[in-house]
Amino acid sequence: MKRPFLPRNDKLDWLIQVGYTTVRLFGKNGLQNHAAATAFYFMLSATPLLLLLSYAMQWLGKLAENFVPATMLFAALYNQLQLETLTEVGFLPRQTQLAASGVGLLTLLLSSRKLVHAVEAAFKVIFPHEAKRKFVTTWLLPLIIIPIAFGLLGLAGLAQSVLAFFAGVELIVGWQAELLLVLNALFMLFIVWLLVFLAYWRLPKERPPVRQTALIALLSAISLFLLLALFRYFFHVEKYQSLYGALGGAVFVLIGIYFACLVFYLWAQCLFAVARVDVEALEKLFLGGSGEGASKLEGFVFGRANRLLEKYGRTFQLGDVLIEEGHESQDAFFLYSGRAAAYKNVNGGERRLGPLNEGQLFGEMAYLLKEKRTATVKAETEVVALVLPPDMLEQLMRHSAPLSRRIIATLCQRLEKMNLTAQG
């Protein structure tokens, strides 16, 4: 047997199908609502940390009052972290010392737990799985993840602030300053990528492949940086202050976090779509465009079978055996072109059960019933068939209700025909 000759356009088809599947599932799963909940709890978690950071900066500044360079450095850090701006817009209260108390710590603990649970709830929708995490894990995970995540982000921000301070007081000048700023930007990108990668890889119960996860996490991190740049360019806090008054600063920050969460979940959905795209394409091919919710757009996106044929396709010549009775293989076959026939040994002779024409799925009984092959299938013309391993058939039946119903109906008809043949 040999692979059929196919024109080269598979990568473009794959990209279009992944993009369409990502957008469709993103809207179907209601991830906009999950992004809103995550943004809310993220702000609740970040506020106590900013309060504690502001108080720590003031305390350290007092310790360095007698050392002028240290005082200048702390002042630069305070400005770089924009704590004064957050105070002016009403996001942080001026009585920082009072706010950074037991109430702030309690709010931090509760909101951190809710934040992690909001992200887990979204990932459970994006990467559906029936298994549940242990009770102890659900309580301890937020106490570990949130400090590490904010600590890494704080480290990156601190490094940028120090470098900006050195450049501002001309301790580092020329190309050295530019090089250090570029390296720091790359370091911040690495920190964000690392956090996104760990979330994409560790939160799903069935972990995706590491290489795919690393690449999607990198695209997500770059998108978050571009979003930050666009947000700074198009959105201005003054407009929100004039519209919402004292709450304008909080609304401004909340909107920014919401858009960041949208980007974060969109790329997570893309990671799932990369693994799901073959299931989507095979479903459309098997149902012949008659699936639930079929549209002209889906016909355009999934209309070409070249990529599937390149990956799963096999060519059989006249007389070749596709399936042999009594064999233990469990692959399923989809007859893309040509004609075949099923045969069964009855009373020492071979009896023809009937033809198999284009568009038929066969060979699935061995997997569904966990038995050996019950019949032999031979090619009566040159045949091009898609050969599907058992795990792909399992995914198809799990994610496609219309296809599952068709397989069950075909299986019942086939069993009835085999019983009648055996009796005859």
Q: Has residue 285 been placed in a domain?
A: no
pLDDT level of residue 4 (50, 70, 90 thresholds): very low
A 10 A CB-CB count for 209 gives: 12
Domain co-membership, 322 together with 181: no
In the predicted model, is pLDDT for residue 43 greater than 70? yes
pLDDT level of residue 383 (50, 70, 90 thresholds): very high
In the predicted model, is pLDDT for residue 176 greater than 90? no
* Token code pair at residue 214: 């690393």
Residue type (1 letter), 7: P
In the prediction, which pLDDT does 386 show?
A: 94
In the prediction, which pLDDT does 128 show?
A: 85
pLDDT level of residue 261 (50, 70, 90 thresholds): very high
Task: Give the residue among 155, 157, 177 at the shortest CA–CA distance from 166.
Answer: 177
- Average pLDDT (152-160) is 64
The model's pLDDT over 85-144, given as tens digits with 9 standing for 90+, comes to: 555 544 454 444 444 444 455 555 666 777 778 888 899 999 987 666 554 455 555 556
Q: Has residue 100 been placed in a domain?
A: yes
Domain co-membership, 396 together with 273: no
What is the Cα–Cα distance from 183 to 187, expressed in whole angstroms? Answer: 6
Task: Give the residue among 99, 89, 19, 20 at the shortest CA–CA distance from 54.
Answer: 99
Domain co-membership, 204 together with 108: yes
Domain of residue 339: give its range.
317-423
Domain co-membership, 132 together with 31: yes
162 vs 98, more confident: 162
Q: What is the mean pLDDT of the chain?
A: 76
110 vs 270, more confident: 270
What is the Cα–Cα distance from 282 to 290, expressed in whole angstroms? Answer: 13
Domain co-membership, 199 together with 108: yes
- Average pLDDT (377-394) is 92
Which range, 69-78, 139-148, 184-193, 277-286, is most confident? 277-286
Domain co-membership, 129 together with 239: yes
Q: Has residue 325 been placed in a domain?
A: yes
Domain co-membership, 268 together with 332: no
* Token code pair at residue 80: 């770089």
Q: Has residue 32 been placed in a domain?
A: yes
- Average pLDDT (172-193) is 75
Query: Which CATH number characterizes residue 376's domain?
Result: 2.60.120.10
Which range, 29-33, 98-102, 167-171, 184-188, is most confident? 29-33
pLDDT level of residue 157 (50, 70, 90 thresholds): low
Domain co-membership, 239 together with 327: no
DSSP 247: G
- Mean pLDDT lowest among 20-34, 180-194, 357-371: 180-194
In the prediction, which pLDDT does 3 show?
A: 41
Phi, psi torsion values for 305, nearest 5 degrees: -100, 5
Q: How far is CA 160 from CA 61, 183, 193, 216, 233, in A?
A: 19, 10, 17, 25, 20
Domain co-membership, 242 together with 334: no
Domain count, the chain: 2
Show which of 232, 260, 280 is a domain's final residue: 280
Q: Has residue 254 been placed in a domain?
A: yes
Q: Has residue 222 been placed in a domain?
A: yes
In the predicted model, is pLDDT for residue 308 greater than 70? yes
β-pair type (349-356, 361-362): unpaired
What is the Cα–Cα distance from 201 to 371, expressed in whole angstroms? Answer: 36
Task: Give the residue among 115, 130, 260, 117 at the shortest CA–CA distance from 196.
Answer: 260
Domain co-membership, 246 together with 346: no
In the predicted model, is pLDDT for residue 423 greater than 90? no
Q: Has residue 218 been placed in a domain?
A: yes
Show which of 229, 256, 280 is a domain's final residue: 280
Task: Give the residue among 122, 127, 128 at the shortest CA–CA distance from 31.
Answer: 122
Show which of 231, 255, 280 is a domain's final residue: 280
- Average pLDDT (220-234) is 88
Domain co-membership, 270 together with 335: no
pTM of the model: 0.76
Domain co-membership, 216 together with 326: no
Q: Has residue 3 been placed in a domain?
A: no
pLDDT level of residue 314 (50, 70, 90 thresholds): very high
